[in-house]
Amino acid sequence: MDMKKSALIIIDIQNVYFEKGRYYLPYAKIAVKNAVKILTSWREENRTVIHVKHQFKILVDAKRLNEIHHKVAPLTNEIVIEKKYPNSFLKTDLLKILQEINISNVVIIGMMSNMCVDTT
């Protein structure tokens, strides 16, 4: 795999999954710990990182809960895509961005592997 044409896409590692409630994931802390390892490696090699965050329809504390978890928060030079559907490509600019920066290989990590990661 040509790493210059590769991007790490981090999907939906957001605060909403870490707190008790409708979207709580019991193993979120383990998942983010593993994501940090991968993200750190990509950043050390100056590889492309793209963050995807879902806009959950939450009534209480929506802004904070929708934010990307601080342990994998995007740096200023990293791309952030906001989505409203499980598929990160549906009605977003993700494909256009990948094409514009000449990415042909992706590594995908994130939350809800049976939903948003799988759908993407």
Q: What are the CA-CA distances from residue 64 to residues 2, 58, 87, 102 (Å)?
A: 37, 10, 22, 33
Q: Which residue has tokens 């790493």?
A: 3
- Residues whose CB is less than 8 angstroms from the CB of residue 80 and which lie 6 or more positions away in sequence, other chains included: 50, 51, 52, 53, 68, 74
- What is the model's pLDDT at position 62? 87
- What is the model's pLDDT at position 48? 97
Residue 106 and residue 7 in contact, taking contact as beta carbons nearer than 8 Å? yes
- What is the model's pLDDT at position 21? 87
Mean pLDDT by 10 residues, the chain (120 residues): 87 95 93 98 96 90 93 98 96 97 96 86
- What is the model's pLDDT at position 73? 98
Among residues 55, 100, 62, 61, which one has the least CA distance to residue 82?
Answer: 55
pTM of the model: 0.94
